[in-house]
Structure 1
Amino acid sequence: MAGIDDKVDKAYEGKSLSEIADAPVEALQGVSEVDAKHLKEAFNITTVRDLGTNKYFLWAQSIAKIAE
């Protein structure tokens, strides 16, 4: 995936997509430990994969795309 390094924390640059998917959500640039705590509490999201496959986020993304 081109340009993935500019979307992840420096510690995850150059990692495989599998490694990034299984990384904590804080691996994404702009997601803090506090944000991660809130995601865990609200949606039981702990990894990038959890975030990307969460049904509520997928529903919201679909609605937003259709609305375009």
Structure 2
Amino acid sequence: MASIDLDKVLDKAWADKSLPEVLAAPVSALKGVSDRQGELLREAFGVKTVGDLADLKFVGWAKALAALDAAK
């Protein structure tokens, strides 16, 4: 299982939260994602939380394509 440095991917206010809390958090909890960008994700794809973003099929497709490219 891959590890991740939460301080590098979460805004400071979310870095000490539990994983379930982070997954239920708005996408703006991710470092570099503004409230406005979070709103645009909600409008475009219905993404409201970090968990929703992780489950977004387009994210999965993009990751699969990147993995295929890396494997060549």
TM-score (norm 1): 0.91
Equivalent residue, structure 2, for 1:10:
12
Q: Output the CA distance in 1 between the equivalents of 2:24 and 2:39.
A: 16
Which among 28, 35, 41 is matched to residue 26 of structure 1?
A: 28
TM-score (norm 2): 0.87
Q: How many residues align?
A: 68
Superposition RMSD in Å: 1.1
Which among 42, 45, 57 is matched to residue 43 of structure 1?
A: 45
Identity of aligned residues (%): 41
Q: Which residues of structure 2 form unaligned runs of 5+?
A: none
Extract structure 1 runs of 4+ deviating beyond 2 A: none
Give the CA deviation at 1:33. 1.0
Q: Which residues of structure 1 form unaligned runs of 5+?
A: none
Q: Output the CA distance in 2 between the equivalents of 1:2 and 1:62.
A: 19
Q: Give the alignment of 1:44-59 within 5 angstroms.
A: 44-59=46-61
Higher radius of gyration, 1 or 2 = 2
The letter for the 1-side match of 2:28 is E
